[in-house]
Amino acid sequence: MTEREQQILTWIQQNPMISQQELANLAGITRSGVAAHISNLIRKGYLRGKGYIVTPPSYVTVVGGISMDVLGIACGDLMDYTSNASHVRYMLGGVGRNIAVALERLNIRTSMVSVYGGDHNGELFRIDAAANGLDIGYAKQLPESMTASYMYVGDASGQRLLALDDMSIYDHMTPDFLRERMSIIENADILVLDTNIPQKSIEWLCDRYRRPIVVRAVTDAKAPRVLSRLSRIDTLILDTAESQALTGINAVDERSAIRCANVLLKRG
């Protein structure tokens, strides 16, 4: 940040309603000169677009998934090729969204970078984000797309028997999509990713973000998306299936978990 940009930012912090002409008068420069400095402050992440909203001094950015989760738990023994009585529950989910909401509840300022649809589930997400104080100014609603969804089918004990997901909307989270939001990403104190986003996008972020990166792997099929950038990841969160997908080790106890961790550390 230049001296002049710092000066203008200080005046904006003191009076967020100040006009560009008033700033020009204070600085002794033209209004167009002030506009150029404000554009630089927005690009660098110190201001969030119009309205002179000052970026919080410390925050986390989460880049990951938003979904509607459908959980069906059978009331009794499951029978093939017919309908089974069950308890069905709908809830907003997505690993990235869940992490972001949890951080906000811990009073950690969090910005969510993601995509969601123009459907009913997308509107529910917007309402829920507002209720939780979650910043979704850098998430994008895609009017012609459906919000991602996840379906869980469990037996009477709750044990998962089958899961289905429709996550094709995340294909829109390309490096170009992320580049447009780089100001809110590069100025975050910590970047949290989940592996719902495309591998090229994970690699692109890891190559450009220079602060701690936390990754939550999502499914054994998507966990390998991080393998080429292990050296850039500070914290990698895995479950048993995901650890086996990455290392071939079934981490079911402390000893096997340590073996798994050692393999990953040697790789990056």
Per-residue pLDDT of the chain (268 residues; tens, 9 = 90+): 788 998 998 888 877 778 899 999 999 999 999 999 999 888 887 887 656 766 667 899 999 999 999 999 999 999 999 999 999 999 999 999 999 999 999 999 999 999 999 999 999 999 999 999 899 989 999 999 999 999 999 999 999 999 999 999 999 999 999 999 998 999 899 999 999 999 999 999 999 999 999 999 999 999 999 999 999 999 999 998 999 999 999 888 999 999 999 999 998 7
Give residue 268's pLDDT.
Answer: 77
Token pair 């690993």 is found at 95
Give residue 250's pLDDT.
Answer: 87
**Residue 243 to residue 158: CA distance in whole angstroms:** 23
Give residue 112's pLDDT.
Answer: 96
Reading across the β-sheet that carries 148-154, which strands appear in turn?
86-93, 67-74, 148-154, 160-166
Contact 240, 252 (CB under 8 A): yes
Give residue 49's pLDDT.
Answer: 63
Helix spans in 171-248 (H): 175-179, 182-186, 199-208, 219-222, 240-247
**Residue 259 to residue 158: CA distance in whole angstroms:** 30
In this structure, what token pair is assigned to residue 76? 């009794």
Give residue 152's pLDDT.
Answer: 96
Give residue 87's pLDDT.
Answer: 97
Give residue 18's pLDDT.
Answer: 86
In this structure, what token pair is assigned to residue 84? 């089974």
Give residue 53's pLDDT.
Answer: 67
In this structure, what token pair is assigned to residue 14? 């003191």
Give residue 206's pLDDT.
Answer: 97
Give residue 251's pLDDT.
Answer: 87
First to last CA, the chain: 34
